[in-house]
Amino acid sequence: MNDSRYGVIRNIQDDIYGSRHCYVDLHTPDFAQFCASLKVSHFKLDEPDQTADTLAKAFATRGTVVVEEDMNAWGSFAAKFAGPIVKKD
């Protein structure tokens, strides 16, 4: 799940630290190019409707496979995940 950042950590910082962000935005590599340099198969999911077809291709491929889910293309989740619920005594 590539959102070009540590998305869950960012959500935690939004929730607990008043949206003060530290070390969450990343300079992510081009995973297709990276996989090609390692001779590893790469498939990119740009939208949810491609999931079944992309996973079928990935499972049919011999060897190591990376399936990159482009979360920026998919859009935001309906609810932010900010880590597990913490019980307060």
For residue range 54-85, what is the model confidence (pLDDT) as tens digits?
Answer: 999 999 999 999 999 988 787 776 677 666 77
Report the candidate in 2, 1, 6, 14 with the shortest Cα–Cα distance to residue 79.
14
For residue range 11-34, what is the model confidence (pLDDT) as tens digits?
Answer: 888 888 888 888 888 888 899 999
Domain ranges in the chain are 7-74
Question: What is the Cα–Cα distance from 3 to 31, expressed in whole angstroms?
Answer: 12
In angstroms, what is the C-alpha Rg of the chain? Answer: 16
Q: How does residue 86 score in pLDDT terms, banded at 50, 70 and 90?
A: confident
Give DSSP secondary structure letters for 24-35. Answer: -B-----HHHHH
